[in-house]
Structure 1
Amino acid sequence: MQTKQYPFYLQSTVVLFGLILLFYVFDQLADILIPLAFAAFIAVLLNPLCTRLERLKIPKIVAISITLLIAILVLAGLFYFLSSQIISFGASLPTLKAKFAEITNDLKNWVFIHFGINTQKQVQFINEALNNSKAMVGKTIGTVLGTLSIIFLIPVYIFLMLLYKTLILNFLFEVFSEENVAQVADILKETKAAIQSYIVGLLTETLIVAILNSAALMILGVPYAILLGVIGALLNMLPYIGGIIAIALPVLMATVTKDGYSTQLGIVVAYSVIQFIDNNILVPRIVSSKVQINALISIVIVLLGGALWGISGMFLSIPFIAVLKIIFDRIDDLKPWGKLFGDNIPTRHIGQIWHLRRERRLAKSAGKAV
């Protein structure tokens, strides 16, 4: 019996409706799904250490507990290292605020003199921008940065995912038919390798960028160099967008604390050199993920992740799309989507190849006719 083929417009409508419904569910269940997503990626990252401890004849629960304890101690050490900078920054915040207000007033007067925009309209524009930012920040804080999610839920999810790892893997194998076991095994293996290599490479890259940022700011005499350098490195984890914000923060700090513009110029030059080193040396050699996503898809997916889940969605978007690409590359009907996500740029499109072959066939036919 021949399968009925539906018109393209009907198929595309169904697919579009399914995507809208999926994004609606993701948005409504953000409080549950975001901690689960972070926990899943972290569990994949910590799995090799846990497996190695189990091979040393350590009981599974004890091995998982040791793995989680090591991860928590590493994070606690990082916060302790930055705590002195944060305390110092908080103590000088009133002085910085007063200086920033003075600079803001001078800027308002300059805008009014040169562009004719009165102070009231400027304040209205700034308030609208701040309200939009508050909405995004509030959404992020209300989801992934909530105290309960960070302190309790994510560690619990990681523990349970590592504990029930075999059960979850068996489920993924059993929901597919037996002839697809090898294909499912390849997808799971590549997904695990892609997530681990991406996260480990990203953390290594972040550490190097934090050191370079902090060193450059200390040489330029910018206050709170280490704190701003680390924040800039963390923001750099957001592809293409975070780098711009990372430069703006130390420039703003130099504007508030120093006279003239030489320091700001030095920051822009130093950060541009660091960005060049990062994009051309660190990322290709250290962030050695098996899945490469092209720049266009990276920007679009980061913006979509930000619109859906805020800042946490931006962080999760790249590894999520990398997992999707692995799945798409393994399914025949979805391979065009996998190619669209990748960074392999063909020299010719299919239409050009088809026309070239057609011209060759016509030329051969003409030659035989003669």
Structure 2
Amino acid sequence: MISVFGRWYRRKFSDPDAAMLLILILLTTAVLLLWGELIMPVLVAAVIAYLLDWPVSRLVSIGVGRTLACAVVLFGFITVTILTLIGLVPIISKQSVNLIQETPLIWQKAQEWILTLPDKYPDYVQVYQIHQMMEGLNDKLVEVGETLISASFSNIANLAALLVYVVLVPLMVFFMLKDKLFFVESISRLLPKERRLITQVGHEMNSQIANYIRGKVIEIIIVGVVSCVTFVLMDLRYAILLGVLVGFSVLIPYIGAAVVTIPVAVVAMFQWGISPEFWYLMIAYGIIQALDGNLLVPLLFSEAVSLHPLYIIVAVLVFGGLWGFWGVFFAIPLATLVKAVITAWSSNPVAIPDEVK
């Protein structure tokens, strides 16, 4: 068994390029695990810089100076972000408070409906089963409420960290965009000479990550806006709040759409009951999800490496558990990176000398 593993190791890693790629991956993983929270503002700035690099490059290509192009694009991005927050945050906050206040009424109506099940289906549902289930759900709801309250107090303590993001991240984004070539050359000088596979994987991932970030932001905006407009036109309560949730749900493929369906259906059922209006809304919501998965995603991510849905779900669980929101956001690019690395190693067989076979 040891000899089999030894032959595999020599076949894959006796090439210095493959060994350097492995060392770089291990070092990067260790840095992210140990100091991920500390360098998170830098990673956030890099994400935004990836997003804004395309318009900066277009302005430079038509003759605008790079410094001026960076300043104009960053100013436009900050302006749009502030206006969006000013327009959405008060509405979302008000609807969130109203929804929290009405949650006991929604739960009370749900309990009343559940208690009717033993009379409707006496052969399948017993009264004691209903009471046990509701007691367990009540305990869980109390735990969730306590968690939300403690989280709100911890968020107050994180205001200082928010100020760091507000002040430092835009500065880092500006310098990353302005001195892009300088940073690329500096990183290149730090890399070892045996970097053929590192360069191969880097070139493959650079365009894919940039396309993924831009495509994901566009997808969030389109799905969120369409959902908000649809919910408002159908007079659904908390339309803006639910539309924003639907927009951000596309961050988590498959899982996000399934999870966000619950609040949409619960609010609609509480408002209309099992009525034609409820089914019209669910049909419209299903159409939005179908168009997103079958039309919008193929258009925006046509250049992305295809991944099996199981790999995507596993990547979301693993990287989301490691790095939270940003792990979920980058689950697909990171899974694609893992696939690119495995492909590079698999397509790079090294001849094993006869004396070590």
Q: Please confirm whether the aligned pair reaches a TM-score higher than 0.5, indicating the same fold.
A: yes
Of 62, 65, 81, 2:71 maps to 65
The AA in structure 1 aligned to 2:345 is: D
Deviates more, 1:101-110 or 1:38-47: 101-110
Task: Give the structure 1 partner of residue 106 of structure 2.
Answer: 100
Aligned-residue offset at 1:327: 4.5
For the Cα contact (< 8 Å) 1:306–1:314, is it kept in 2? yes
Task: Give the structure 2 partner of residue 251 of structure 1.
Answer: 265
Correspondence list, 1:215-234, <5 A: 215-234=229-248
Task: Give the structure 2 partner of residue 304 of structure 1.
Answer: 318
Measured in 2, the distance between the counterparts of 1:261 and 1:24 equals 54
Task: Give the structure 2 partner of residue 49 of structure 1.
Answer: 55
TM-score in terms of structure 1 length: 0.70
Measured in 1, the distance between the counterparts of 2:248 and 2:340 equals 26
- Pair 1:82 & 2:88 matched: yes
Task: Give the structure 2 partner of residue 319 of structure 1.
Answer: 333
Measured in 2, the distance between the counterparts of 1:121 and 1:212 equals 37
- Pair 1:152 & 2:158 matched: no
Of 260, 265, 279, 1:265 maps to 279
In the alignment, structure 2 segments of 5+ residues that lack a partner are: 10-18, 118-125, 350-357
C-alpha change, 1:68 and 1:128, in structure 2 (3 Å) is same
In the alignment, structure 1 segments of 5+ residues that lack a partner are: 337-370
Aligned length: 328
For the Cα contact (< 8 Å) 1:228–1:250, is it kept in 2? yes
The AA in structure 2 aligned to 1:26 is: L
TM-score in terms of structure 2 length: 0.72
Secondary structure at the aligned position of 2:37 is classed as helix
- Pair 1:123 & 2:138 matched: yes
The AA in structure 2 aligned to 1:157 is: M
Of 35, 42, 67, 1:36 maps to 42
For the Cα contact (< 8 Å) 2:205–2:337, is it kept in 1? yes
The AA in structure 2 aligned to 1:193 is: S
Aligned-residue offset at 1:185: 5.5
Measured in 1, the distance between the counterparts of 2:280 and 2:268 equals 10
The Cα RMSD (Å) is 4.4
Correspondence list, 1:6-21, <5 A: 7=5
C-alpha change, 1:30 and 1:128, in structure 2 (3 Å) is farther
Percent sequence identity over matched residues? 23
Task: Give the structure 1 partner of residue 228 of structure 2.
Answer: 214
**Greater relative CO, 1 or 2 (CA 8 Å, sep 6+):** 2
Of 289, 292, 295, 1:281 maps to 295
C-alpha change, 1:145 and 1:133, in structure 2 (3 Å) is farther
C-alpha change, 1:203 and 1:94, in structure 2 (3 Å) is closer
For the Cα contact (< 8 Å) 1:53–1:63, is it kept in 2? yes
- Pair 1:162 & 2:168 matched: no
For the Cα contact (< 8 Å) 2:50–2:213, is it kept in 1? no
Aligned-residue offset at 1:301: 0.7
Task: Give the structure 2 partner of residue 346 of structure 1.
Answer: none
The AA in structure 2 aligned to 1:36 is: V
Measured in 1, the distance between the counterparts of 2:326 and 2:88 equals 22
C-alpha change, 1:88 and 1:144, in structure 2 (3 Å) is closer
Secondary structure at the aligned position of 1:69 is classed as helix
Aligned-residue offset at 1:242: 0.9
Task: Give the structure 1 partner of residue 345 of structure 2.
Answer: 332
